Structure 1
């Protein structure tokens, strides 16, 4: 009868070379044109987390197809009292898509 065949029997074992010095296996390379992390990375992360929480807050209306700032203004016009801290963060980073667009903006609808 013989032993039961495994899927790994069909493929050769490939040993990988060690990467260049300083290369971490789980670390992603920065996107082209993306700036390296600034020393204020902790502050940026706190601000981005605040914006993610704003994205998930259903009481300010849907967020598909508009920027965070447009959503904030719409919520303000409707009298929904969006957090003023969110508006301050959005005003301090006017051209940065990490702050202006939702985290899933790069995925098509």
Structure 2
């Protein structure tokens, strides 16, 4: 199991003994994500909550690596609902093999 973080706060509060390898996720450029998938030889990629990396998701789709978005949520007033951005997010979410939704208020 490999775990990555973008923020130092997530990295610092994670139980490092629970995984095989932990690292900071590089910037979401298409060529960087392609190389990352090759190096890690990923069999599955799981994203949590707001941590959506479009180029990583699209590269997973091209490489037939299934993706899961865990604890997905769109709060009222989210930019994901804006007409100009909704199509962009539709393509991102549409590329995910599985989306597990968080129920607000639970």
TM bucket by the smaller chain?
under 0.3
TM-score relative to the length of structure 2: 0.24
TM-score relative to the length of structure 1: 0.23
